[in-house]
Amino acid sequence: MQLMLFCAGARDKMWAGPKTACPLRTRGKRQAQKIGSWLGTKGLRPDTVLTEQTIRARVTAEKALKAAGWTANGIEASKDLSDGHLPSFSHEDRVLLVAASKCVKALAARCSVEVETRPGMLFIVETQNGKPSLRECVDSRNLPDLFPYPPPDGPERRPRPAYYYTQSAVIPFRRTERGPEILIVGSSSGRHWVVPKGIVEPGLSPARSAMVEAREEAGVEGTTGDTPLGSYTYAKWGATCTVAVYAMEVSRVLPDSAWEESHRNRRWVLVAEAAELLNEPAFKELVRQI
């Protein structure tokens, strides 16, 4: 059995709310991603992922798994882990436990392993013939700041994990007597009109990931095919992002209370007007295919 004890990334020191809801600071996110990239390079995919019942531990696990190129689905919060106890699991598995540094230190001691902990550190404990031993200690401070591309260990190095650079978008539309209408939404800054777009989540197809973005950014649900209308590229994070664009026929418009980003404006317009208003030049032609 391999037991991977992962210290949650650095917390937001200005947080004044409940301890369980304390978020990661940016440095903590990078710590998690660097450890995740290292796991992906080594092929050390866990069979089971358990975290403390805190936002900080959960997000650390999510960031690490995605940076490794794996899905973040299947993460479970463990009350035993939150209480400082080793959870029960199959001893045939490779298990990743994510908790605060003090908790990791205590868990290692329960495995008869003495370690010095800090946020963003990973300890791999192996048990052979009933005897645990520390196989490896990985400190995120000693890992490269750049991430391999393509994953898991491509020759290029980029400022963000590889999955950031594969994105998808949807053009939400509905059929009316006047012809197809496109739903456009305000950008996060409120300065431009856009359509829902985001990073393709590891474990999801580009089309499915775009539908998730449509629900979050535009508050709509619908159906889309697996074949994109087209694609475009743009420069970001020191490299080039590629965006696959899908048409999505809207079947439901969510009320503001169920729309995650209801601070955005949304507006139905005819195709010709959408082509004029959308900020990204590539959409001027893509919307005309609706």
Interval 92-108: pLDDT, tens: 789 999 999 999 999 99
> What is the average per-residue pLDDT within 79-98?
87
Average pLDDT, the chain: 94
The answer to whether the predicted template modeling score (pTM) of the entire model surpasses 0.85 is yes
Is the Cβ–Cβ distance between 273 and 178 less than 8 Å?
Answer: no
Q: Which CATH number fits domain 2-147: 3.30.70.270, 3.30.470.20, 3.40.50.1240, 3.20.20.70?
A: 3.40.50.1240
Q: In the prediction, which pLDDT does 188 show?
A: 82
- Asked if the model's pLDDT at residue 79 lies above 80, the reply is yes
DSSP 68-125: HT---TT-EE-HHHHTT-PPP--TTSEEEEEE-HHHHHHHHHHTT------TTEEEEE
Would residue 219 be called left, alpha or beta, if left means φ above 0 and alpha means ψ between -120 and 50 degrees?
Answer: left
Q: What percent of the chain has pLDDT over 70?
A: 100
First to last CA, the chain: 53
Instruction: Check residue 257 and give its pLDDT.
Output: 82
Find, among 272, 92, 117, 50, the residue nearest to 181 by Cα: 272
Distance CA 73, CA 202 (A): 9
Q: What integer pLDDT is reported at residue 133 of this predicted model?
A: 92
- Residue with the larger pLDDT of the pair 14 and 129: 14
Give how far the C-alpha of residue 161 lies from the chain's centroid of Cα atoms, to the nearest Å.
10
Measuring CA to CA, which residue among 93, 137, 92 is closest to residue 118? 137
pLDDT class of 131 with cuts at 50, 70, 90? confident
Give the list of residues 6+ apart from residue 283 with CB closer than 8 angstroms, or none. Answer: 171, 195, 245, 274, 275
CB count within 10 Å of CB 257 equals 7
User: 25-29 long-range CB contacts below 8 Å, 24 or more apart?
Assistant: 28/56, 28/60, 28/119, 28/120, 29/59, 29/63
Of the candidates 108, 21, 137, which has an alpha carbon nearest to the alpha carbon of residue 11? 21
Phi, psi for 176 (deg, rounded to 5): -135, 170
Residue 89, pLDDT > 80, answer no
- Given a cut of 80, whether residue 90 has pLDDT beyond it is no
What's residue 100's pLDDT? 96
Give CATH superfamily name and number for 162-289. Nucleoside Triphosphate Pyrophosphohydrolase (3.90.79.10)
Domain ranges of the chain: 2-147, 162-289
